Amino acid sequence: MQDIIEGFLKFQREVFPARSALFKRLATSQNPGVLFVTCSDSRVVPELLTQREPGDMFVIRNAGNIVPSYGPEPGGVSATVEYAVAVLGVTDIVICGHSDCGAMTAISTCMCLDHLPAVAAWLRHADAARAINAAREFPTPHARLNSLVRENVIAQLANIRTHPSVAVALAQGRLNLHGWVYDIEKGAIDALDGSTHPHRFVSLAEHPEACAVNTQGVQAD
């Protein structure tokens, strides 16, 4: 904890004065263009991966980068999605999974979660990905996990489309959806390319135009 406190003191002493104009502007407003949904995993830092500044992205982090389908009792994720789309007017939403995901590992290995009832209930929002992955055969447990991570991104993209604010924005052609998978060891990102049939993940470095659902250009759905 002391390292964290010392880090803040360094920020206050060295970083903040050098960026005072930025923070003065951000003190009264924000205008993020992207809602970035990713895992709580400490190894995944959205602003580092994308080299973004404070104020550039609205971020949701939770176990398994999950977006529950919209329901009669929406929770914090639903409220954040709604605010980002309907109030802030983000033009893009990224759902980003990652390699070696603990949440997906628990599903992939059928780990007993009786001692973690809240986690078990939360991971039910990935049941579609679980079912699709379970219907396939894989040569190794690692391959099974990698596939599940990708299927979960696809499942959460489907879930987020059930949110009224997202559905309206998509229908009006003012929102794009992106599905990414970040490889921690390689520092690489694969992106879901909605223009392919069937949809497949491609290297974002080689295909920077890849988009899961593109309503502002050619529909990729």
Would you state the structure tokens that stand for residue 3, as one six-digit string?
A: 């390292």
Q: Is residue 220 part of a domain?
A: no
Q: Which residues are catalytic?
A: 39, 41, 43, 98, 101
Q: Are residues 172 and 107 in the same domain?
A: yes
Residue 221 lies in a domain: no
Q: What is the pLDDT of residue 119?
A: 97
Same domain, 130 and 106: yes
Are 99 and 196 contained in the same domain?
Answer: yes
**Residues 24 and 35 reside in one and the same domain:** no
pLDDT digits (tens, 9 = 90+) for 173-182: 999 999 999 9
- In this predicted model, what pLDDT tens digit does every residue of 12-53 receive, in sequence order? 999 999 999 999 999 999 999 999 999 999 999 999 999 999
Query: What is the C-alpha to C-alpha distance for residues 180 and 194, in angstroms, rounded to an integer?
Result: 12
Q: What percent of the chain has pLDDT over 70?
A: 98
pLDDT of residue 220: 40
Q: What CATH code is carried by the domain that includes residue 156?
A: 3.40.1050.10
Number of domains present in the structure of the chain: 2
**For residue 81, what pLDDT is reported?**
98
Looking at the structure, tell me whether residues 95 and 129 fall in a common domain: yes
Asked if the structure places residue 219 within a domain, the reply is no
Judge if 76 and 12 occupy the same domain. no
Looking at the fold, whether 90 and 16 belong to one and the same domain comes out as no
Instruction: State the average pLDDT for the chain.
Output: 95
Q: Is residue 50 located within the same domain as residue 10?
A: no
The band of 156, judged by pLDDT with boundaries at 50, 70 and 90, is: very high
Indicate if the pLDDT at residue 221 is higher than 60: no
Residue 219 scores a pLDDT above 70:
no
Range of the domain at 21: 1-30
Same domain, 14 and 66: no
Closest CA to 70 of 143, 168, 215: 168
Does 70 lie in the same domain as 23? no
- Mark whether 98 and 25 lie in a shared domain: no
β-strand partners of 213: 177
Nearest-angstrom CA–CA distance, 156 and 72: 18
Does residue 159 surpass a pLDDT of 80?
yes
C-alpha distances in Å from residue 217, one per residue of 140, 162, 195, 209:
39, 22, 11, 11
Q: Are residue 69 and residue 143 in the same domain, yes or no?
A: yes
What is the per-residue pLDDT for 197? Answer: 82
Instruction: Give Cβ neighbours of residue 91 (< 8 Å, ≥ 6 apart).
Output: 33, 34, 174, 175, 176, 216
Q: Which run of H or of E encompasses 121?
A: helix 117-122
Element (H, E) at 2: helix 2-10
100-153 pLDDT per residue, tens? 999 999 999 999 999 999 999 999 999 999 999 999 999 999 999 999 999 999
